[in-house]
Structure 1
Amino acid sequence: MKDCLGSPAEPVSRASPRPAQHRPDDEAFDAVVVGGGPAGATAAADLARAGHSVLLLDRMGRIKPCGGAVPPRLMADFAVPESLLVARIAGARIVAPSARSVDMPVGDGFVGMVDRESFDEWLRDRAARCGAERRAGSFLRLEPLPEGGSLVWYRAKGGTEERAVRARVVVGADGARSAVAKQCLPGATVPCVYAYHEIVRSPAPGTAAYDATRCDVHYDGSLSPDFYAWIFPHGETASIGTGSMQKGFGLRAAIGELRRKAGLEGAETLRREGAPIPLRPLRRWDDGRGVVLAGDAAGVVAPASGEGIYYAMLGGRLAADAAHGFLLSGDARALRRARRRFMRLHGGVFWILGIMQHYWYRDDGRRERFVSICRDRDVQQLTWDAYMNKELVKARPLAHARIFFKNLAHLTGLARA
């Protein structure tokens, strides 16, 4: 186990398409984790390490659209080896609607980039090494059992028969449109950005505006009316993507335009992916009985930035810890700890980022001013400090004061864009 992971409402709906039969030979697990992304794989590994019997149920074969950036804090907290990194990023270029750009060097250190296809599989494999049983299949529904726990109904990949296993606790980590959340926490939905990206073969060094050590972030209403577009290097490949909450916005057309602007229209396209990404944590993550949510299912993607891998893995760890407490005590109130602890750690950051997105992303005039703010050295330093360390930096009060007054000048129009 030495290569395992490092240290660590409303009642469930009883409706089901047809009455389930509780068979004496049903398999039983302490925990069933639905979804094998970073949140689910982390939760499964932690629960297995704690000595619980765990089933990790994942659909397999699906890759979430994702820029793939991971901070050093993730590598340290979750014992992720640097061998999984496909690129090291030395800085970011922020591009305004006018095409003016601002370079933001990281300074000491780097931001790691991962490819979700191999990264997620490594996490699932590690969960199995920790003792979790992996199974490929699609979640169907939960049926509460009179004696406690649930029957978890699923369909094995490639099969047609419905199967069931017993679970004392269920971790729902099955994405933004979580089927677990839909059944167990009715009405628990949040607005989502729909993200779309194209994975292309990386161009030769020096091609157009592409830099294999830099992330490009475009704040331009023609590329996204309410979010941003990006070009993120992944070593031999690159992610070119955008997102929007606006129904009917042409995501593919926007990516075509971005590729043209960046001189990447001729780059070979290897795959295309799209998915909804939540930008606000749910108000409740547990059903008060035996289900707790994690990752996108709980809404833990940072507003404004759309960053989700670190928060998903932390959410998975906190959900596992809460589930562990429930399994030991039998007290479903233990499941509430996952959300409480997450919001205590990161609720303030999410609140600030939500305000930023609401104000600065509304039109191109504000986007232009936002990019101007990014020129400020104090802003750059504190931005990278907060990203790399995953906490609000409080050690530089004078810098915070200067940023406050500069933001105020931009908000009132006293500063030039």
Structure 2
Amino acid sequence: MRLVVVGAGVAGLSCAYWASRAGHGVVVYEKSRELGAKPCGEGIPEDTMRHLPPGCGDFILNRVAGCLLCLYWRPLRRVESASTFGYIIDKKAMLRELKEAAESEGAVVKMGSRVRPWSRLECDLIVDASGNPGSIARWRGLDYRGYRSIPALQCYCKGRLSEDEILISILPSGYGWAFPRGDRTVNFGVGGFSSLRALEAWLRLGLRKLKLSLSGHIRAAPVCVSGPIRRFTAKGVVAAGEAAGLVMPSSGEGIKYALFSGRICFTKSYERLWKSAFGRRFQRGKAVLKAIIATPEGLRGRVIAEAGDSLVTQLYSGSRVPVLELVKALGTALLRG
């Protein structure tokens, strides 16, 4: 089978590697001349590593053992992990490793080459891995009604933060993060249901509160928060990664799901395999996001402060949540309000 992959991001290069390894002919088109042009928090959970090609992993910058949760950049509590919490990565380096792995299996990656939605392509299958908002797949018949995004801002900073701990802050209409990359460098950003002007104000407040100094440009990008589109496949085309809405609504996590969708998107069992692995998790993630939005601002922080470590991580990852534990945390927060 001949595949054309649109986009040399995580999903596209994952697809290129696994499809080439399976014996298919693969050509990847990437409109940018550089890999990893889109802003990214560059944090991944530990289990992301199992979805990578064998031997990949030199892109890891930091191992993280815990998380400092904040409310409007003011510390609320620490969430500890008995094992590795996750990793901070150099995403550009990760993409270079994926590209090299794909090319070693015979894939052709063409940088600086744009594919238009209406372009005539000689292939058996088009994989839209172009990211948000999936214009190739949309043009070719996939249903994007309900696809929703929020703006996010990201930058690199210098400062003294704990090297083995990430920081997540609850903001009035969104969230903020500070992920240490080592050598006093921090990946810093905000995202939410707000205007870019409002988000930038929260970003700059966070810089002041955490005593971070901006060391580069502030970059903006949309992030999908609506979860998967209704169908991933149509005649001659499939969508993978963020082009299919595969970003966890409750946390913004997308790299793991991009890797996995890229690995299976060219198979006939794509949708079945996806739903079996992550379908319910995304349903829970959407429910958590709706609950967060519906919860009064003052109560959000109190619930997080009262919840156990495992409950907090389960809420953000879309894992199955112990209902009684959640009710207990909510009740305690209300009583103390």
Task: Give, in angstroms, the shift of residue 49 of structure 1.
Answer: 0.3
Q: What amino acid does structure 1 have at the position aligned with 2:169?
A: H
Partner of 2:245: 299
Distance 2:293 2:72 in 1: 11
Partner of 1:370: 303
Partner of 2:192: 244
Partner of 1:416: 336
Distance 1:80 1:355 in 2: 36
Q: Kindly name which structure, 1 or 2, has the bigger radius of gyration based on alpha carbons.
A: 1
Contact 1:64 1:116 in 2 (8 A): no
Change (3 A) 1:179 1:169: same
Count of equivalent residues: 329
Task: Give, in angstroms, the shift of residue 339 of structure 1.
Answer: 2.6
**Which of 162, 168, 178 in structure 2 is aligned with 1:217?**
168
Change (3 A) 1:197 1:344: same
Contact 1:56 1:132 in 2 (8 A): yes
Partner of 1:39: 11
Distance 1:241 1:299 in 2: 21
Task: Give, in angstroms, the shift of residue 43 of structure 1.
Answer: 0.5
Taking the TM superposition and a 5 Å limit, the aligned residue runs for 1:361-400 are: 361-362=293-294, 363-374=296-307, 376-379=308-311, 383=314, 392=320, 400=322
**CA shift digits 1:154-174 (9 cap, x unpaired):** xxxxxxxxxxxx111110000
Contact 1:220 1:367 in 2 (8 A): no
TM-score (norm 2): 0.89
**CA shift digits 1:67-92 (9 cap, x unpaired):** 11222222123235442101111110
Change (3 A) 1:415 1:107: farther
Distance 2:26 2:37 in 1: 23
| 1:262 is the counterpart of 2:210 | yes
Partner of 2:23: 51
Task: Give, in angstroms, the shift of residue 51 of structure 1.
Answer: 0.8
Contact 2:117 2:140 in 1 (8 A): no
**Which of 294, 317, 325 in structure 2 is aligned with 1:403?**
325
Distance 2:306 2:140 in 1: 43
**Which of 79, 90, 111 in structure 1 is aligned with 2:65?**
90
Taking the TM superposition and a 5 Å limit, the aligned residue runs for 1:113-132 are: 113-132=88-107
Distance 2:284 2:133 in 1: 25
Task: Give, in angstroms, the shift of residue 407 of structure 1.
Answer: 4.4
Further displaced range: 166-175 or 339-348: 339-348
Distance 2:2 2:93 in 1: 28
Task: Give, in angstroms, the shift of residue 116 of structure 1.
Answer: 1.6
Partner of 1:172: 128
Displaced runs of 4 or more, over 4 A: 390-393
Partner of 2:228: 281
Contact 2:42 2:90 in 1 (8 A): yes
Partner of 1:199: 156
Contact 1:378 1:403 in 2 (8 A): no
Partner of 1:11: none
**CA shift digits 1:389-415 (9 cap, x unpaired):** x9648xxxxxx35414314525xx644
Partner of 1:318: 264
Q: What amino acid does structure 2 have at the position aligned with 1:39?
A: A
Contact 2:152 2:221 in 1 (8 A): yes
Partner of 1:135: 110
Distance 1:186 1:81 in 2: 33
Stretches of structure 2 that go unaligned for 5 or more consecutive residues are none
1:51 partner SS: coil
Contact 1:40 1:173 in 2 (8 A): yes
**CA shift digits 1:228-285 (9 cap, x unpaired):** 0111112243111011233455222221111001111xx2423432211112110111
Change (3 A) 1:142 1:123: same
Task: Give, in angstroms, the shift of residue 347 of structure 1.
Answer: 1.9
Distance 1:354 1:373 in 2: 22
Distance 1:100 1:113 in 2: 21
Distance 1:263 1:179 in 2: 40
TM-score (norm 1): 0.73
Stretches of structure 1 that go unaligned for 5 or more consecutive residues are 1-28, 144-150, 153-165, 323-333, 394-399
Task: Give, in angstroms, the shift of residue 352 of structure 1.
Answer: 1.6
Further displaced range: 103-112 or 186-195: 186-195
Contact 2:143 2:229 in 1 (8 A): no
Distance 2:323 2:150 in 1: 32
Distance 2:286 2:260 in 1: 20
Change (3 A) 1:80 1:69: farther
Contact 1:233 1:239 in 2 (8 A): yes
Change (3 A) 1:53 1:268: same
Q: What amino acid does structure 2 have at the position aligned with 1:191?
A: R
2:99 partner SS: helix
RMSD: 2.4
Distance 2:310 2:90 in 1: 31
Change (3 A) 1:233 1:378: closer
Taking the TM superposition and a 5 Å limit, the aligned residue runs for 1:19-38 are: 30-38=2-10
